Structure 1
């Protein structure tokens, strides 16, 4: 049986009350996504639309959006996230955070993750994609450099072992010469 308008209204009211109990952790998320109080008040009178939360994932961790936005659907949420990325990237760059390592994680009012929007999806537009052969060559070169580093380390360990053995042989030779010279001096006397 489909949900009635009253059921949907009670869920929307409960969601709105849950929204206003928390504090947004990120000033960036808050300044980008929060509507004015007049917009929020107006939306309460209209037919309820789904709420979407735009959590920001950075190298430092997840910054939860506790306020969210009421939008017509997931497509609108995706477009809002895409529009916010250039501004967010500029703010993050100013704070010495690499925006190419960030993404929005869009969730619904139940907390279910619906969509991830990597900042690179917008920031890389207009760049020519790398040719697959170049990517393969880059991976191969990286693997070869790692192999060379392991071989250099192994050679260093072998060199250290050989130097230790050489020192041991020198000590034995010195001891043998000492014994030999001691034996020769005793025969002369």
Structure 2
């Protein structure tokens, strides 16, 4: 089973994943990255901030880039201009 590392880059800098995780394939790694981003955004929202400028870089054990998943790809932002 492939091993993937999830390195987070955002407004607070870069946090490198030193452990990684075994997942069946790149699609599962993408889903894991989206889940991680949503968790980060939930924490930010609790502080009244949403910063979509970050990303998760997924690498293989040799450090080769497999995926880049931007924060803004993890959510759909809707805005209704109508005020009630």
Is this a same-fold pair by TM over 0.5?
yes
How many residues were matched structurally?
Answer: 79
Answer 1 or 2: which has greater strand percent.
Answer: 2
- Aligned-partner Cα distance in 1 for 2:38–2:49: 14
What's the counterpart of residue 23 of structure 2? Answer: 71
Matched, 1:127 2:82: no
Question: In the aligned structure 1, how far is the partner of 2:42 from the partner of 2:28?
Answer: 22
2:43 aligned residue (81, 88, 91): 91
Question: 1:44-73 deviations in whole A, cap 9, x for unaligned?
Answer: xxxxx1110010001232110101110111
Q: Secondary structure at the match of 1:88?
A: helix
Equivalent residue for 2:54, pick from 79, 102, 125: 102
* Cα pair distance change 1:95/1:110, threshold 3 Å: farther
The structure that is helix-richer by fraction is 1
Deviation at 1:82, TM superposition (A): 1.4
Q: What is the alpha-carbon distance in structure 1 between the residues aligned to residue 17 and residue 71 of structure 2?
A: 17
Question: Higher relative contact order at CA 8 Å, sep ≥6: structure 1 or structure 2?
Answer: 2
Structure 1 pair 76–121 and aligned structure 2 pair: CA distance change class (3 A): same
| Superposed displacement of residue 84, structure 1 | 2.6
Distance 1:118 1:73 in 2: 19
Distance 1:126 1:94, change over 3 A: closer
d(CA) in 2 for partners of 1:91, 1:60: 13
How far residue 95 of structure 1 moved from its aligned partner, in angstroms, is: 5.6
> Structure 2: which 5+ runs fail to align?
80-84
Residues 1:97 and 1:69: Cα distance change in structure 2 (over 3 Å): farther
